[in-house]
Structure 1
């Protein structure tokens, strides 16, 4: 991140743990003030912000339920309140990372309508309306980075509903990049594969067979880590990535090549 980006604002959704927490830390290291959004785990979000502050960066947490019908309005109202307390209210946002999401499992025959709509609300509706309601807040020359998934390239029937939401995010990314190009706002997506985060802990951590299987499917021969994804996001947020827009960056470590 160049010196001209020092003290710019970054907003990261779903930032209390895993990939979102790693993204927040790396953006703070690059000199941005990071708004750490969380849905439910306020303690974890506060710890992320405190860790950033302890390392010499700037951060503040704020809460909004992205599954609610009024998610975008609630999101920006909560952001404004927290930003005011942090002394950065009305400063333009230079980086928006739509990272929050849920992975609900079930083949099409078994996947309930309720789960489908819940996942759609959080994974698709929320980022769409957060961007829509936030466009006047985002600086010209800013960055929007959407977290997609390798499941748009690699078929996993047991999470078909999740794959559908991430396909929508990639279409959103492409079209929004064209629309916001005149403002020099870049819009890109990053598609992780299996990453060692809390969301995968139940079947991955402590399971040598599962870890070996994931590593074997990767051209690079290991399980992905949150910082692997965060580094790509930090690059896309930087001035060095100013000529990249409308792209999906495959961040699966070469899974199933």
Structure 2
């Protein structure tokens, strides 16, 4: 029986990298996208192939909507030539950026950058991807703990993630006739290079996160990938329209 196929945007580093590896550990073939770090992307592809699963990497800027048609033309070719398939099973909307900027200092340019990458890109990329997702498949949107909480400097970023969570519920309803499950995973603070590595590298910030978290530590990428992989499995076949927070019990 052929492996199911997952597409992970931003799968070359951080959370996306671990999602891709965890999906492969569950026996899924994986297509990842990368924006600029090609070497990292192809290392992930090699790691997945060493697990016995098929993998490939395609370049994508989720904030450049005019490039989407070109990307999906490439994707269709890759599916046919390397995966012997016309469609894939799961879409993980992970690619993103983080900007920590006080509300009163946020410029229109910064706002539009976040809007295009974190929400508008997700909306229209998913719109184009849906025709290639198999009936009975799934979509996982990566949100954030910040969409349901508040921390100074993330007003614009968190607002976009809140919009993604609302979109998740609408997609779950509108795609339900095809049996496509749509859920959001909302990580708490994770020690990666995201947003300049502030959570990983800032000692005071790191200590504050530990203090606020019931399980007493900052999250790691490995804490998130397994949850995404679970949602892309038959064990999660009766879960849709849900926001699953993965934060270690932050601010309880």
**Does the alignment pair 1:28 with 2:11?**
no
1:84 CA displacement:
4.4
Aligned length: 252
**Does the alignment pair 1:50 with 2:46?**
yes
SS of equivalent to 1:14: coil
User: Counterpart in 2 of 1:15?
Assistant: 11
Change (3 A) 1:222 1:166: same
User: Counterpart in 1 of 2:146?
Assistant: 151
**Does the alignment pair 1:133 with 2:131?**
no
Change (3 A) 1:232 1:123: same
Counterpart-to-counterpart distance in 2, 1:102 and 1:40: 13
> Contact between 1:12 and 1:97, CA under 8 Å: does it hold in 2?
yes
Counterpart-to-counterpart distance in 2, 1:56 and 1:87: 13
1:169 CA displacement:
0.3
> Contact between 1:143 and 1:186, CA under 8 Å: does it hold in 2?
yes
1:206 CA displacement:
4.8
Pairwise CA RMSD of aligned residues? 1.7
Unaligned runs of 5+ in 1: none
> Contact between 1:105 and 1:111, CA under 8 Å: does it hold in 2?
no
**Does the alignment pair 1:38 with 2:31?**
no
Write out aligned runs for 1:1-257 (5 A): 7-90=3-86, 92-199=87-194, 202-257=197-252
TM-score by length of 2: 0.94
Change (3 A) 1:195 1:50: same
Counterpart-to-counterpart distance in 2, 1:103 and 1:205: 14
Change (3 A) 1:203 1:136: closer
1:85 CA displacement:
4.7
Q: What do the CA deviations read for 1:70-107 (whole angstroms, capped 9, x no partner)?
A: 143233133234434524352x2111000011112212
Change (3 A) 1:217 1:139: same
SS of equivalent to 2:156: helix
SS of equivalent to 1:70: helix
> Contact between 2:49 and 2:55, CA under 8 Å: does it hold in 1?
yes
1:128 CA displacement:
1.0
> Contact between 1:72 and 1:126, CA under 8 Å: does it hold in 2?
no
Counterpart-to-counterpart distance in 2, 1:203 and 1:114: 22
Counterpart-to-counterpart distance in 2, 1:69 and 1:95: 21
SS of equivalent to 2:98: coil
1:58 CA displacement:
1.7
1:8 CA displacement:
1.1
